[in-house]
Structure 1
Amino acid sequence: MATKRKVNNLLALAVLSAMVDRPKHRYEIAQTLRDRGKEQDMAIKWGSLYTVVQSLEKAGFLEIVGSERDGARPERVIYQITEAGRAELTDWTKELIAVPEPEQHRFVAGLSILGVLPPDEVIELLSKRIDALSQIIGGVRRELDKVLAMKLPRLFIVESEFGLAMLEAEMAWARSFRDEIADGTFPEVDWWRQVHADAIPPAEVIAYVERGLAEPEPS
């Protein structure tokens, strides 16, 4: 089970990771996260950065160590990570690696109510998704090739490798599912098609399923 964190926002984890080398003000923190492409690893709302930094300070994970002013610009507060912050960073990372946690996925939401669409339309939609995934995968592979050409340690690209593997697995599953529907090997596909062809009311369909029937009873 995931630990209840004092600051339970993945942006906070990213901020802590950006602070381990030296003290920074908020603008430097934001630039570090952008330079590392963290918005590709997690959903980052840049407008929340100030609030997250304040929350980390309040929790004792960051502390103010000074300020600086550059010309007429507003004064910039400089933060550094505390020992408690380093411990939180380490513990949180261990949990994320070791503890599986259900994550919401828009595709799964669509699959959960797939029956509202006729199977032939689903075949077309899955084909569109497969094409889109192929394009995305091609882009990710090209970016990975660029990074590998820079001779960076693999340690710094494993998250990209994982993302690529997940995309490839999703595309393979979507293609297999589409082909099952198209070639008629998907169970109950004929009934599924009949339900839409005959415009059978959803309440009746649900009743069939709840009674454990594979297809509507003959009228």
Structure 2
Amino acid sequence: MSTPPRSSPLALTVLALLHFQPLHPYGIQRLIKQWGKDQVVNVGQRASLYRTIDRLLATGLVTVRETGRDQQYPERTVYELTDAGRSTMSVWLKEMLAAPKQEFPQFPAALSFVLMLAPEEALDVLEQRAATLAQTLEAHDKSLAEQTEVHGLPRVTTLEEEYLRAVTAAELDWIRAVTDDLSSGRLSWSVDELTGIAQSTGRQALTDQTSSEPQHDPR
């Protein structure tokens, strides 16, 4: 077997679903949606699922169990987990749970340059985000209630949605605090003043770079 591929949420999901039973790609995609895992795993394009399965197959973490033939459907390959896949899944799962990973979501990146907007512009867009987060929070509450009270699912099957709800609630609380400060004037800035600071530090960075460059002998 070649070196196993790097862990990813989608690869872990494929291995985990195959742990329960052999499946073809369509069945994997259907279970991801039925079990609500599409909230935490990006499987919007089926091609990405097939590429992931191909990598797992090439490295011996999954194997072909059978190729099904049915007049109503095209030929479907059914995959199953190997012993190596089961072992790798356990290692990946423990690592992902235990070690926070440095990620770079777009919202903090955008926040780092919110100073390029006027305070009233920042207030407007952050209020829009707060409204969306409030809707998302309501959707999480509804989904959690349905899964536990209607479908009778145990709590362990909804921990990822509990986490997403907690993160959403925390972000919403923080944004509401920021928008309150913007509305009251406790948080304010001048775009022109900050532009001047940025230009000044940019010139200093160029000066520092020039002075640190090695001097070449012109001969």
TM-score normalized by the length of structure 1: 0.82
Q: Does 1:106 align with 2:106?
A: yes
How does 1:132-211 map onto structure 2 within 5 Å?
132-149=132-149, 150-186=151-187, 189=188, 192-193=189-190, 196=191, 199=192, 202=195, 204-207=196-199
Q: Does structure 2 retain, via aligned residues, the 8 Å contact 1:7–1:55?
A: no
Q: Does 1:40 align with 2:39?
A: yes
Q: How far apart are 1:205 and its partner, in Å?
A: 2.4
Paired residue type of 2:180: D
Cα offsets for 1:113-149 (capped at 9, x unmatched):
0111011221222222112211111111111111121
Paired residue type of 1:157: T
| Alpha-carbon distance in structure 2 between the residues aligned to 1:121 and 1:201 | 16
Distance 1:147 1:115, change over 3 A: same
| Alpha-carbon distance in structure 2 between the residues aligned to 1:142 and 1:76 | 36
Cα offsets for 1:169-217 (capped at 9, x unmatched):
001111111222222333xx2xx13xx4xx4582x2225678xxxxxxx
| Alpha-carbon distance in structure 2 between the residues aligned to 1:16 and 1:71 | 29
Paired residue type of 2:9: L
Q: Does structure 1 retain, via aligned residues, the 8 Å contact 2:4–2:59?
A: no
| Alpha-carbon distance in structure 1 between the residues aligned to 2:49 and 2:77 | 14
Distance 1:8 1:97, change over 3 A: closer
Cα offsets for 1:76-126 (capped at 9, x unmatched):
222210011011111111111100112222211210101110112212222
> Structure 1 stretches (4+) deviating beyond 4 angstroms?
207-210
Q: Does structure 2 retain, via aligned residues, the 8 Å contact 1:123–1:182?
A: yes
Mind listing any 5+ residue stretches in structure 2 that lack a counterpart? Answer: 203-219
Q: Aligned residues: percent identity?
A: 29
Distance 1:70 1:175, change over 3 A: same
Q: Does structure 1 retain, via aligned residues, the 8 Å contact 2:21–2:80?
A: yes
| Alpha-carbon distance in structure 1 between the residues aligned to 2:105 and 2:197 | 26
Instruction: Tell me the residue number matched to 1:115.
Output: 115
| Alpha-carbon distance in structure 1 between the residues aligned to 2:108 and 2:41 | 19
Instruction: Tell me the residue number matched to 1:215.
Output: none
Paired residue type of 2:34: D
Cα offsets for 1:142-168 (capped at 9, x unmatched):
111111212211000010000000000
Instruction: Tell me the residue number matched to 1:30.
Output: 29
Instruction: Tell me the residue number matched to 1:17.
Output: 16
| Alpha-carbon distance in structure 2 between the residues aligned to 1:122 and 1:94 | 40
Instruction: Tell me the residue number matched to 2:206.
Output: none
| Alpha-carbon distance in structure 1 between the residues aligned to 2:111 and 2:105 | 10
Helix, strand or coil: the match of 2:67? strand
Mind listing any 5+ residue stretches in structure 1 that lack a counterpart? Answer: 211-219
Instruction: Tell me the residue number matched to 1:71.
Output: 71
Q: After alignment, is 132-141 or 177-186 more displaced?
A: 177-186
